[in-house]
Amino acid sequence: MENSKDIFNEKPKSSFAKAFDVISTMASKPSGFIGLAILVFHIILAITSPWFAPYDYKAINPSLMLNAPSSEFWFGTDSLGRDVFTRTILGGRTALTITFFGSIIALLWGGLLGIFCGLVGGRIDDIVMRIVDAFLSIPWILAMLLIVSLLGTTTEVLIPALGFFYGKGIVRVARAATHDVIAKDFIVSAKARGHSNLSIIWNEILPNVRDAILVEGAMRWSWMLLGFSSLSFLGFGVSPPTPDWGLMISNARGLMSFAWWAVIAPIVGLSSLIIGINLTADAFAKALGIDRSTKAPV
Amino acid sequence: MKTNIQEIKDLSIGFKSQKGKQISILRNITTNIRKGETVGIVGESGSGKSTLALAMMGYIKQGLFTTGGECLFKSQNLLSLNNKELEDIRGRKIAMIPQNAGQALTPNLKIGYQIEEALKLHTDYSKGEREQKISELLNQVRLPSPKIMALRYPHELSGGQQQRVAVAMALAGNPELLLLDEPTTGLDVTTQAHVLELLKDIAKDTGTSMVYVSHDLGAIAQVCDRVIVMYAGEIVLEGPVRKILKEPIHPYTYGLLKSIPKLSLIGLPDSMPGSQPQPGNIGNGCSFYNRCNFSNDECKVNVPKLEYLSEMDTSVRCFNHSELISKTSEQKMKNHSQKKITIDEILDLKDVSISYAKQGIIDQFLNKVTDTNPTVKDINININKGETISLVGESGSGKSTILKSIAGLLKTKDGHIKFDKEKLLSGDLKKRNSEDLRSIQLIFQNPDESLNPNHTVEQILSQPLKLYFGLTGSKLKESIVELLEKVRLGAFYMSRYPRQLSGGEKQRIAVARAFAARPDIILCDEVTSALDVSVQAAVLDLLHKLKEELGTTYIFVSHDLAVVKAISDRVAVLYQGRLCEIGPSKDVYQFPSHPYTEVLIGAVLEPDPDIKPKLVAEDIVEEKPPEIGCSFQGRCPRIIGDKCRNETPPWQFGDNGNAIRCHIDIEELKIQQS
C-alpha cells in the first residue's frame, strides 16, 4: 500500500523518468541487480571487445594447438591454435545482434496480431489462431533448418526467420492480455463513440497490454538466443571463421575429455547471458507488477 | 444491562507507508458488543468499517498491524492469540458471513458437503447427527427441500440462495457472535429484503450477537438494535438505531441521511460537499471539518472526543452536537423544477426484441435470428426531448441490454430504433454515421472500468473532442478546461491519472467525457450504484444541473427505485425483458400499479426503522421468461389463473397516464392494493 498523500501529489512523469523508476526498482532486489549487471556486462563486452581482443580471432597457428590456459592464452587455445579468450569475448556479438533484432520483429508482429485477434474476436480470430496453433505444432528447428538451407545463413534471412518463429508464441500472450482489458468499459466506451479499430488498439489497448508483451519479449529473447546458438551448433548459424559460442561448443565438444577449456569458455558465456536475460525479465515483470509465476497466459 | 460479549478498547490499526511513515486506518476505537444484540457498523468506503469487523475476529489483513489497544472476546485478547488458539474461536464462537457468497463457496463441492465440513471442524457430531443437522440448518435458513438442496452445487443456486447457504455454514458452529460484511449488497432488492428478514429471525431465535457491516442505512435500519457510524477510521456516532436515524446529532450522519434518496420524498436529495480524507491525510482538528456545515474555529484545531450523552444513550464526536439536536428531523428535498416536457420525440423504440441466442450456420448466412423467446421482447417506448426516462428492474430484466442496443453495441432482432423522428438507427455500430454516434453517449456504472487507467484526464477527455470535432492544440486544451469546469473540477485535474482520483471525481470525469461530444441523448447505466451515498447525491445533482443547462435527454438504468424516483420524469418497469408498466414517475410509484412494481416498491428499504418492507412475493429467481402468457406469472402474488399463463396481458391505462400490462382490471387492482 502506498501513502495516499504521495499518490495525490504525484505529477505525471515523462516516459524517461518512468523507465528510470522501473530500472531502479529492478535493481533494488538482488536477483534483479545480478541479472541487470550480467546483461549490461555482456552488452558492453559485445560492443567494445573488438578494440581490446588480444589476438586475431581467425589467426590459425598449428604450433599452438590445444594449449592449456596460461598467462599468455588465458582460456587456452582451440584445435586450430586460435586464442579461446579472444573468440569467447567476440563470440556473443553475432548472437546478440541477430537475436535482439529478431526479438523486436517477434514483438512487433506477434504483439500486434495478438491484440488485433483479441479485439476483433469471432471468425477472424478463430482462423488466425488455428494457423498460429498449426505453426506452434511444427518443431521450429526443422522449419528453421529448411529455411536456412533454402535461403542461406545470412543475417537478412536469420533475423526475420527467428523473428517469425519466436513471435507466434507472443501472439497468444498478447491475445490473452487483450482479453483481460477488452471487456472493460473503457473499450466498450471507445467502440460506442465510434473509434476505428486501429485507434482503439493504439490508444486504449496498447498502453494496458504493453507491459505484459514487453516482459514476454524479454523472455523470448533468451529463448531465441538459445535457439540461435543451437542453429550454430548444428552448423546453420554463423559461418566459420566468425567466432560464435554455439559453433565453438560444437567444434570443441569432441575434444572435451582433454581440452575442456575450449568448450567451457563459450558455455559459460552463453549460459551467463541467458541467465542474465532471464533474471532481468523476471525482475522487469515484478517491477511492472506482473507475476510470471502465477500468471502464465499461454 | 446485558453482559458484553466483545469489548474493543482503544484499538488502533495502521500500516507503514513506503517512506516509513505510520498511517492509521483505525484510530482509538472503543466500543462493545452486548450479548444478543445486533450492531450495525456504517460508513463510506475507506472509513475502516471492514477492518474493524475483521479485527473483531482477530484477523488483521496482511500489511496492517495493531498500533495499540486490544480486542477482547470474553476477556481474551484476540489480537494476542496465536493461530492455533484463534482456530478454536473462529467458526465455533465467532463466525463470519462474507459479502459475496458466490465467491465464498467452493464451486466444485456440493452444498451439503461444504456445510458438513464446517460441522466437522466446529462440532463433535457423529456422521448421522451431522446429516440431521445439515437438514436442520438448511431449514433454518428457509431453503426449500433441504435434502435435495444439499446435493446441489453452488452455481445451481441463485445469489440469494447462495447467501442463505453461507448463513447456514456460519451457523454450523453455533457461534455466539456473527460478523456480516455487507451480506446483501450484491443482491436484488426483493432478495435483499428476504435475506434481511431471515437474519432478523435468526438473531431472535438463537440469541446470537451480530455485527452487521454495511454502507446501506436502509438495511441497517431493518436489522440493527444499535448503530456505530464510522468516518475516516473513527467512531463519530454510536447509539440506538432509532436515535441515530431519526435524530442524528453528528453532522456527518445528518448529512448522510439527507443525501439518501427516499421513496416518500420528491426531488433530488441534498448532497454533501467534498469527500472523506484519505488515511494519512487527516489534518489536526476534526476529521469531518472540511465537509461540515456546523463547524467553527475550534473544530479546526482540536479533535473532538467521543462524548457519551446518557439521556440519549448515544456517544457523539462533535463539539456542536447540541445545535443539531434542536434541528428538526424533518427533511426537505430540493424541489427540482419539473419542467413541462414538450412532446417532441427524439427516440422511438418500436417493437424492439433482442436475442442473445447463438445463430446456427444457415441462419448466419441468411442473416436471420431465430429465437422464439428472446431476452428482450416487444419494447415500445417513445422518448421526448429533454426528459429523463428510467428503466428499472432486477438483474436480468434486460434494462442494460436495451441500453446497449440503443448505443449500437447489440443488434436488435426485430423492431427498430428511430432517432430524431426519421433517422433509423442501425443495429450495427459500424453502419452508424459519426453524427449519430456523437448524438448518443454512454456513462457506465463503474468509473474504475470505464476510464483507461493508463490515460491522464486530459487524454481521456480529448478522445471524443478529437474524434468528433477534430480539435487540436490550444483549442483542445480550452475545451477540456471548459468541460472540467462543467463538472465542477479544476483545470489542474488534467494531468492526473484515474487512480489519483476519488470515486466521485472519476465519475465526474466519465460524465465530462460523455458531455464532450455535445450529445442529444445520454445513456446512464447504473451510474451511481458504485458510489457512496453522499457522492451519489452529488453526481445526481450534477447530472440534473447539466441537463437543465443543456437540455440533454437521459435514459437512466437503475435497480434503485429511490434513485430513479429522485431523478426521472418517466419510469419504465421491466421484468424478464418485457415491459410491465410505464408512466410518469410519480404515478408509477402510486397505486394502482403492476403487481411487479408493487413487489419492487414493497421491498425498498428506507433508512427508518419504523418503515418495514412489505414482502408480497417469494424471491424465486427465474432464468428464462415464459414463452407464453404474462412475463411475471411465475412470481405474481395476484395471479388469477390460466389467463395469466396463456395470454399476453393487454395494456391498461390509469387515470394519470401510467400504462400497466396486466390481466387484472385496473379498477380491481386499485381495490386490491389499497
Distance CA B128, CA B153 (A): 22
User: What proportion of chain A, given as a percentage, has pLDDT over 70?
Assistant: 93
Q: Tell me which chain A residues have a C-beta less than 8 angstroms from the C-beta of B500.
A: 7-8, 10
CA-only gyration radius of chain B, Å: 26
* A231 is a domain residue: yes
**Which chain A residues touch B499 with a CB distance below 8 Å?**
7
For residue A4, what pLDDT band results from cuts at 50, 70 and 90? very low
pLDDT at B328 over 50: no
pLDDT at A201 over 80: yes
Residues of A in contact with B278 (CB under 8 A): 4-5, 8
Looking at residue B2, what is its pLDDT?
65
Contact B63/A at CB under 8 A = yes
Closest residue to A194, CB basis, from B278, B434, B454: B434
What kind and span of H or E run contains A113? helix A92-120
Residue A1: list chain B partners with CB under 8 A. 15, 17, 63
Q: A3 pLDDT exceeds 60?
A: no
CATH number of B345-568: 3.40.50.300
From CA A39, how far away is CA A218, in angstroms rounded? 12
How far is it, in rounded angstroms, from Cα A207 to Cα B452? Answer: 9
Record: contact B278-A192, CB cut-off 8 A: no
Give how far A288 is from chain B: nearest CA, Å.
13
B38-42 sheet: strands from edge to edge: B94-97, B177-181, B209-214, B38-42, B226-231, B234-240, B314-316, B307-309
Chain A interface disruption, residue of B276, B441, B445, B463, most A CBs within 10 A: B463
Q: How many CA atoms lie within 13 A of B508 on its CB side?
A: 24
pLDDT score of B204 = 87
Q: Calculate the alpha carbon distances from A9 to A154, A287, B244, B288, B500 in Å.
A: 54, 22, 37, 21, 8
In the predicted model, is pLDDT for residue B394 greater than 90?
no
* Selected residue with higher pLDDT from A274 and B320: A274
What's the average model confidence in pLDDT over B444-467? 89
Residue from B426, B452, B496 whose CB has the most chain A CBs within 10 Å, to mutate: B452
Q: Which residue of A has its CA nearest to B438?
A: A193
Categorize the per-residue pLDDT at B515 as very low, low, confident or very high, splitting at 50, 70 and 90.
very high
Does residue B291 or residue B334 have the better pLDDT?
B291
Q: Is the pLDDT of residue A67 over 70?
A: yes
- Mention every residue, 6+ apart, whose C-beta is less than 8 A from residue B220: B40, B42, B212, B214, B227, B241, B245, B607
Mean pLDDT over A255-271 rounds to 83
Q: Is the pLDDT of residue B108 over 60?
A: yes
Distance from CA of B17 to the nearest CA of A (A): 5
Residue of chain B whose alpha carbon sits nearest to that of A5: B281
Please tell me the distance from the alpha carbon of residue A273 to that of residue A270, in angstroms, as a whole number: 5
Angle at A175 between CA A172 and CA A181, to 5 degrees: 145
B86 interfacial to chain A (CB closer than 8 Å) = no
Per-residue pLDDT, A11: 56
**Using the beta-carbon criterion (under 8 Å), do B408 and A186 form an inter-chain contact?**
no
* Nearest residue in B to A209, CA atom: B454
Of A6, A186, A199, Cβ closest to residue B450: A186
Position B510 pLDDT exceeds 90: yes
List the single residue in A with minimal CA-CA distance to B281: A5
The 10s digit of each residue's pLDDT in B31-66 is: 888 888 999 999 888 888 888 888 888 888 877 888
A208 vs B452: CB contact, 8 Å cut-off? yes
Inspect the interface and report whether the beta carbons of B500 and A186 lie closer than 8 Å. Answer: no
Q: Tell me what pLDDT residue A247 has.
A: 83
Q: What is the mean pLDDT of residues B615-619?
A: 71
Provide the residue range defining the domain that includes A172.
Answer: 60-288
- Find, among B575, B606, B604, B594, the residue nearest to B654 by Cα: B594
**In 10 A of CB A279, how many CB atoms?**
23
Q: What's the rounded Cα separation, in Å, for the pair B258 and B330?
A: 10
For B442, the closest of A4, A12, A192 (CB atoms) is A192
Pairs of CB atoms within 8 A across A/B: 90
Instruction: Say if A262 falls within a structural domain.
Output: yes
**Chain centre distance of CA B242:** 23
Per-residue confidence (pLDDT) for residue B390, from 0 to 100: 92
pLDDT at B363 over 80: no
Is A203 among the domain residues?
Answer: yes
Which residues are CB-neighbours of B627 under 8 A, at least 6 positions away? B372, B373
What CATH number does the domain containing A163 carry?
1.10.3720.10
Least confident of A125-134, A200-209, B117-126, B331-340: B331-340
Residue in B281, B438, B449 closest to A5 by CB: B281
Q: How far apart are CA A179 and CA A177, in angstroms?
A: 5
Task: Indicate whether A160 belongs to any domain.
Answer: yes
Closest Cα in chain B to A9:
B500
Average model confidence (pLDDT) across chain B: 84
- pLDDT tens for B93-104 read 898 888 877 788
Which residue in chain A has the smallest CA separation from B492?
A11
List residues bridging with A67 in a β-sheet.
none
Q: Answer whether B449 sits within 8 Å of A203, measured CB to CB.
A: no
Q: At which residue does the C-alpha cell 520483429 appear?
A: A105
Which of A14, A189, A214 to substitute to test the interface with B, most B CBs within 10 Å? A189
B209 burial level (CB within 10 Å; 0-12, 13-18, 19+): buried
Q: Show the 3-state SS of A124-172.
A: HHHHHHHHHHHHHHCCHHHHHHHHHHHHCCCHHHHHHHHHHHHHHHHHH
User: Quick check: B283 pLDDT over 60?
Assistant: yes
Phi/psi of residue B256, each to 5°? -60, -45
Query: Does B437 lie at the interface with A, CB-CB under 8 angstroms?
Result: yes
Of B23, B444, B446, the CB nearest to A3: B23
Our count of domains for chain A comes to 1
pLDDT tens digit sequence for B195-220: 888 888 888 888 889 999 988 888 88
Contact between chains at A1 and B15 (C-beta distance less than 8 A): yes
Q: Using an 8 Å CB-CB cutoff, list chain B residues near A207.
A: 452, 454-455
Note the CATH architecture for domain B1-93+175-224: 3-Layer(aba) Sandwich (3.40)
Q: What's the 3-state SS for B234-287?
A: EEEEEEEHHHHHHCCCCHHHHHHHHCCCCCCCCCECCCCCCCCCCCCCCCCCCC
Distance CA A286, CA A266 (A): 30
Give the Cα separation of B68 and B57 in Å (integer): 16
Interchain CB distance below 8 Å, A186 and B499:
no
Check for a shared fold between B1-93+175-224 and B345-568. yes
What element of type H or E holds B209? Answer: strand B209-214
- SS3 label, residue B418: strand
C-alpha B322/C-alpha B313 separation (Å) is 15
Based on C-alpha coordinates, what's the Rg of chain A? 23
Cell for B322?
447540541
Kindly report the average pLDDT of chain A as a whole number: 82
Q: Is B638 on the interface with A (CB under 8 A)?
A: no
CB-CB under 8 Å, B517 with A193: yes
* Closest CA–CA distance from residue B515 to any residue of chain A (Å): 12
Domain contains A271: yes
DSSP A51-71: HH-SS-TT---GGGTTPPP-S
Among B17, B454, B500, the residue with its CB nearest the CB of A8 is: B500
Query: Are B497 and A12 an interchain contact pair (Cβ–Cβ within 8 Å)?
Result: yes
Q: Is the pLDDT of residue B242 over 50?
A: yes
Helix (H, G, I), strand (E, B) or coil at B186: coil
- For cell 464532450, name the residue: B516
Give kind and range of the element (H or E) at residue B97: strand B94-97
Q: Amino acid identity, residue B590? A: Q
A43 within some domain: no
CA B394 vs CA A12, B526, B559, B621: distances in Å: 41, 12, 6, 10
Domain boundaries, chain B: 1-93+175-224, 106-174, 254-335, 345-568, 578-673
Nearest CA in chain A to B458: A12
pLDDT for res B512: 93
The amino acid occupying position A63 is S
The pLDDT of residue A255:
80
Q: Mean pLDDT, to the nearest integer, of B115-120? A: 90
Residues of chain A with a CB closer than 8 angstroms to some CB in chain B:
1-8, 10-12, 184-186, 188-195, 199, 203-204, 207-208
Which residues of chain B lie closer than 8 angstroms to A191, CB-CB?
A: 409, 429
